[in-house]
Amino acid sequence: MKTFLNHLNFFKEVKEQLESNKKDVYFIVSSLMQYLEKNHLLEKHYIEKMREFVKIESNKDMIKDQSIETLLMLLTVIYRTDYMSPDNDTYIMYERNGMIPKILDTLIEKIEELV
């Protein structure tokens, strides 16, 4: 339970930072991704779920209906896409198109239901 609370607090902090500081989006999202990696929350088999990612990416309203595991998979794909991309625009693009904020909102909501 304590771990869920730690994750919840961190996700809320990231959401707050993204809302208040649009200049440091890349740095803020990078810290989120490092947190996921450090806490072993990244999806190992994300390649197998790319089809699902593309479906959700094209219809962001589907995000609210996803499980915590799927939400973490979405963040993993964004992380890996940025990792493979030569420019640093991936995080900024997904933050500006609303995907990262919606994922965080839903993740926070789902974890709050658990605790």
Output the pLDDT for position 86: 66
Token pair for 53 = 């990612």
Output the pLDDT for position 71: 97
pLDDT in tens, the chain (115 residues): 679 999 999 999 999 999 999 899 999 999 999 999 999 999 999 899 999 999 999 999 999 999 999 999 999 999 998 888 767 789 999 999 999 999 999 999 999 998 8
Considering the entire predicted model, what is its pTM? 0.92
- Those residues whose C-beta lies under 8 Å from the C-beta of residue 45, and which sit 6 or more positions away, are none
Question: Whose CA is closest to 110, among 44, 49, 66?
Answer: 66
